[in-house]
Amino acid sequence: MPQKQKSKSWTELKQAGNECFKTGQYGEATNLYSQAIKELEKSSKKNPEDLGILYSNRAASYLKDGNCGECVKDCNMSLEVYPFNVKSLLRRAAAYEALERYRQAYVDYKTALQIDCNIAAAHDGTNRMTKALTEADGPSWREKLPPIPTVPLSVREKLTQQTNIANTAKQNPAPQQNGTTQTKKTAPSDKDIKKGHALKEEGNALVKKGEHKKAIEKYTQSLKHNPTEVTTYTNRALCYLSVKQYRDAIRDCDEALMIDSSNIKALYRRAQAHKELKDIKACVDDLNSLLKVEPKNTAALKLLQEVQKKK
């Protein structure tokens, strides 16, 4: 008789989910995290913190796939069992922002800053929400905000310690990171930066020849060596636009904007992708953000004029 296959533990399932997430297989990652949650729920050694991290990781997968509603639900679950988890706050903030629930996003970004005032993504998010809410509600926008929770000092001390382990001061623990709060994401070495640059240049040469699919492969290899290079994301986004993979183009622009929130190319290319996906409002929003940075950008002005005719 064939031996019964031993079912995987929740830690193995979580690790497999993390691997899928790293390679962009977000649907499969979601499935593996769901199995891990079920296994952990059955376990007698159930730890709320572990469960909170699993929900937070699944939330990140949903966010990457554009399923913001499910992302919010999972972040709520995560924060219920693991209160004030920074990654869950940032992921929920990003989902709220995508859903245009700017007040809730503002509250989450501000709460994250109470825990660690060095989180670049939370500072950028707070600034974006302040602009959006001022435009929507006028100077008295703060009066319409939900209450911002006060993070207890004991929680702040514990979480700051964990955040310091997980991130260097200027690193961005935003949705693209999907490990536990204990994993440290180190900056690329000089060797990696050089290798990444060489691969990026190979990608650029392929773009000039019009070989966009091959260029995507080179840029992907480059990002494995240096995931902090903004132009590699914007260059790959351009290629995705050329091969009509618009959602992938949006993801790359999102990554670029997490590193540089006012990157012109990322805003313009994301606007182009939104236009192709018939999301005119998102397209106009990106173009308006771009024009605040560079008011005389002719390409953006032309595209804005074009899409506004379609409204």
Give the type of residue at 115: I
Contact assessment for residue 290 and residue 266, using Cβ atoms and an 8 Å cutoff: no
Reported as a pLDDT band with limits 50, 70 and 90, residue 24 is confident
CA dist 301 and 295 (Å) reads 8
Reported as a pLDDT band with limits 50, 70 and 90, residue 9 is confident
The answer, yes or no, to whether residue 5 has pLDDT greater than 90, is: no
pLDDT above 70 covers what percent of the chain? Answer: 86
Bin 83: left if φ > 0, else alpha if -120 < ψ < 50, else beta.
Answer: beta
The answer, yes or no, to whether residue 16 has pLDDT greater than 70, is: yes
Bin 24: left if φ > 0, else alpha if -120 < ψ < 50, else beta.
Answer: left
What is the average pLDDT across 4-20? Answer: 83
**47-87 residue pLDDT tens:** 888 999 999 999 999 998 889 999 999 999 999 998 889 99
Q: How far is CA 288 from the centre of its chain?
A: 21
Which pairs with CB-CB distance under 8 Å and at least 24 residues apart come from 111-115?
A: 111/84, 111/148, 111/149, 111/151, 112/86, 114/150, 114/151, 114/156, 115/84, 115/86, 115/89, 115/151, 115/155, 115/156, 115/159, 115/160, 115/163
**269-300 residue pLDDT tens:** 999 999 999 888 889 999 998 998 888 889 99
**215-252 residue pLDDT tens:** 999 999 999 888 888 899 999 999 999 999 999 999 99
pLDDT of 261 reads: 81
The answer, yes or no, to whether residue 176 has pLDDT greater than 70, is: no
Mean pLDDT of the chain: 85
* 284 or 4, which is more confident: 284
Q: What predicted TM-score, i.e. pTM, was given to this entire model?
A: 0.53
Of 28-42, 144-158, 164-178, 184-198, which gets the smallest average pLDDT? 164-178
CA dist 53 and 50 (Å) reads 5
* 259 or 135, which is more confident: 135
The answer, yes or no, to whether residue 160 has pLDDT greater than 80, is: no
Tell me how far apart the terminal alpha carbons of the chain are, to the nearest angstrom: 66
CA dist 79 and 154 (Å) reads 16
Burial of 111 (C-beta count, 10 Å sphere; 0-12/13-18/19+): buried
Reported as a pLDDT band with limits 50, 70 and 90, residue 164 is low
pLDDT of 159 reads: 61
The answer, yes or no, to whether residue 254 has pLDDT greater than 60, is: yes
Q: Which domains does the chain have, with CATH numbers?
A: 10-166 (1.25.40.10), 190-310 (1.25.40.10)
pLDDT of 311 reads: 61
The answer, yes or no, to whether residue 169 has pLDDT greater than 50, is: no
Q: Which two tokens stand for residue 125?
A: 């998010």
